[in-house]
Amino acid sequence: MTPQLQQAIRLLQLSASELHQEIQDCIETNIMLELVEDEFPNVTASNQIHDEGQLKQQVVSETRTQNSDWQEPAYEGHSTDLDQIPETETLSLRAHLLWQLNLLPISESDVVIGVAIIDAIDSNGRLGASAKEIQASLKKPGQEVPHEDEISSVLKVVQTFEPTGVAARTLSECLLIQLRELSSEVPFLEVTKTCVRDFLEMVAGREYQKASRSLGVSPDDFQKVLELIRSLNPRPGSEYGTDKIDYVIPDVFVSCEKGRWIVELNEQVVPKLRVNKSYSNVLQGERGSAVEKTLRRHLQEARFLIKSLASRNDTLLAAATAIVERQKGFLAFGDQAMKPLVMHEIAEVISMHESTVSRVTSHKYMHTPRGVFELKYFFSSQLSSDLGIVSSVAIRAVIKKLVAAENKLKPLSDNKLSEALSSHGIQVARRTVAKYRELLSIPASSERRKFN
- When mean pLDDT is compared across 6-20, 83-97, 129-143, 304-318, the lowest value belongs to 83-97
Does residue 105 have a cis peptide bond before it, meaning omega lies within 30 degrees of 0? no
Residues 280, 283, 285: CA angle, nearest 5 degrees: 125
Q: Report how far residue 286's alpha carbon sits from residue 22's, in angstroms, rounded to the nearest whole number.
A: 30
Summarize the confidence of residues 1-18 as an average pLDDT: 79
pLDDT at 84: 32
Q: Report how far residue 228's alpha carbon sits from residue 236's, in angstroms, rounded to the nearest whole number.
A: 16
Q: Report how far residue 356's alpha carbon sits from residue 348's, in angstroms, rounded to the nearest whole number.
A: 11
pLDDT band (50, 70, 90) for residue 241: low
* CATH tag for 252-265+315-448 (out of 1.10.300.10, 1.10.3720.10, 3.90.190.20, 1.10.10.60): 1.10.10.60
Domain coordinates in residue numbering, the chain: 3-66+271-314, 93-243, 252-265+315-448
For 371, left (φ over 0), alpha (ψ -120 to 50), or beta? left
pLDDT band (50, 70, 90) for residue 45: very low
Whether pTM > 0.85 for this model: the answer is no
Q: Reduced to 3 states, what is the DSSP secondary structure of residue 257?
A: strand
* Beta-carbon count within 10 A of 327 CB: 25
pLDDT band (50, 70, 90) for residue 20: confident
Q: Report how far residue 169's alpha carbon sits from residue 182's, in angstroms, rounded to the nearest whole number.
A: 20
Q: Which residues pair with 274 in a beta bridge?
A: 34
Summarize the confidence of residues 394-412 as an average pLDDT: 83
Is it the case that residue 415 has pLDDT exceeding 80?
Answer: yes
Task: Choose the most confident range, by mean pLDDT, from 92-106, 222-236, 281-295, 334-348.
Answer: 222-236
Is it the case that residue 42 has pLDDT exceeding 50?
Answer: no
Q: Which of 358, 342, 266, 270 is nearest to 311 (CA)?
A: 270
For 421, left (φ over 0), alpha (ψ -120 to 50), or beta? alpha
Summarize the confidence of residues 378-392 as an average pLDDT: 65
